[in-house]
Structure 1
């Protein structure tokens, strides 16, 4: 029964998107308009940043009020992820009703209806959870390709908490050497939406600053440290700090910096 309801929801959304897209294309054709290049948009949001401002910014920049739908994917794989439900309620409270929580199974393939929902979503939100398990699923199923297709088509991709670390080409984690009482940085393939940028939480950023600085120099990349109340908006290669707290940044050849709300940085892809 639940699967039937889920499939029906996806089919309704697909019909809605198809009609909307056809209308827009016909309008542009009849008026001789040439569509502007599609902006590639990513929103990095700290785990505790379910604030009025961050959600309002998300809705405004995505254009979701005009058309489309939101898909929320918990990377925890919990069927009743509390953070996913809380985020859905934030959309509901702002009268954005076309919101679907997509619960994936890490031990099975992805349904075709789920792929269609992801590829045609206007907003894709990833809730923090089991990073390695989620990326294992993404890398061995059509999931990663579907996410990249949505991104190329102009969907706003949002990462909450540790899910934000998965959006770049690679994400970093730490391997503990219990013999020598040391930690080394390990890199694993991410979703591939942002190049030359790594994202981590501010705690790791501060505790392992020297090691992260060394990796930034070697890989010629920028590392952003996101606080619970931090947000970073990225549109193409332009980034701006939003949210209530500052963002740490390590970049090649520079001392670690603290970015305040409103500060802009240029990213190299």
Structure 2
């Protein structure tokens, strides 16, 4: 039987395969970093760490995405007022709508930003604007190519692939915390997907959100649950995480012996790993 492929065509196929593998590896090991803040007050020292993590050059600029906020202009002004004391790099706001989310000039500006900051507010409001649009793709590509993506509160929640919305399926009215741990009660939706193996909760100790994060772990036992307190952050470099700021980060993972009660969807967990970290300490995720 004759060889169906010439040496030249085989070489092209091998090169194409290598490009696909290279692209997949880049997506799995992004060059960028995440600086995820749990909400609350952001000290100058904490924001200096954001800038140091981003490693801005003179020609680099910062993009603020305020779509989580009910008052995007105020969110931007608050951020810029603090940051102009700390850096001379340009700071611009891109407040996308359903229409402008398709604008290639604007989305290219997002992708080329060395630091992207996502404000607090409502994470579902943010994702309603960016999901399935070039904006989301631009954020992901910026991260893959070496940019730092930062966010606070709602801007923290959107970082993970499985995003906690804050709502309960079994309770119609919104509650800042969950009053118990029940199976199939936690509402999640699609986030930015920058963190594939962890789920983020914010304002964690301040608002006593243990039940909510444990509910997430019951739903997604293979993920690492990370609860970030106010004025505190995690810096993500691929699979290694470093804590920064004034309070603590709670990490829960590897639930064993999970079972569901027939009454009220209550659940039990026989074993669970839990760790508490403070500024400067590091841990790994899968």
Scaled to the shorter chain, the TM-score interval is 0.7 to 0.9
Q: Deviations over 1:10-61 (max 9, x none)?
A: xxxxxxxxxxxxxxxxxxxxxxxxxxx9632000012224211111101112
Contact 1:234 1:240 in 2 (8 A): yes
Q: Distance in 1 between matches of 2:116 and 2:57?
A: 15
> Which TM-score applies when normalising by structure 1?
0.77
- Is it true that 1:211 corresponds to 2:215 in the alignment? yes
- Is it true that 1:234 corresponds to 2:227 in the alignment? no
Which residue is 1:191 aligned to?
Answer: 192
Q: The residue matched to 1:208 in structure 2 has which SS?
A: helix
- Is it true that 1:48 corresponds to 2:40 in the alignment? yes
Which residue is 1:122 aligned to?
Answer: 114
Q: How does 1:14-29 map to 2 (within 5 A)?
A: none
Q: Distance in 1 between matches of 2:193 and 2:83?
A: 27
Contact 2:159 2:191 in 1 (8 A): yes
Q: The residue matched to 2:102 in structure 1 has which SS?
A: coil
TM-fit CA distance, 1:206? 2.0
Moved more, 200-209 or 163-172: 200-209
Q: Gaps spanning 5+ residues in structure 1: where?
A: 1-36
Q: Gaps spanning 5+ residues in structure 2: where?
A: 1-28, 173-178, 256-271
Pair 1:150–1:209, CA change in 2 (3 A): closer
Which residue is 1:31 aligned to?
Answer: none
Pair 1:259–1:137, CA change in 2 (3 A): same
- Is it true that 1:170 corresponds to 2:174 in the alignment? no
Contact 2:66 2:72 in 1 (8 A): no
Moved more, 220-229 or 134-143: 134-143
Q: Deviations over 1:74-99 (max 9, x none)?
A: 02355653232121122211232411
Q: The residue matched to 2:189 in structure 1 has which SS?
A: strand
Q: The residue matched to 1:252 in structure 2 has which SS?
A: strand
Q: What is the total number of aligned residue pairs between the two structures?
A: 229
Which residue is 1:85 aligned to?
Answer: 77
Pair 1:119–1:44, CA change in 2 (3 A): same
- Is it true that 1:256 corresponds to 2:249 in the alignment? no
Q: Distance in 1 between matches of 2:132 and 2:35?
A: 25
Which residue is 2:248 aligned to?
Answer: 246
Contact 2:64 2:118 in 1 (8 A): yes
Q: The residue matched to 2:110 in structure 1 has which SS?
A: helix
Select 1:138's aligned residue among 114, 130, 138.
130
Structure whose alpha-carbon radius of gyration is higher: 2
Q: The residue matched to 1:94 in structure 2 has which SS?
A: coil
Pair 1:47–1:147, CA change in 2 (3 A): same
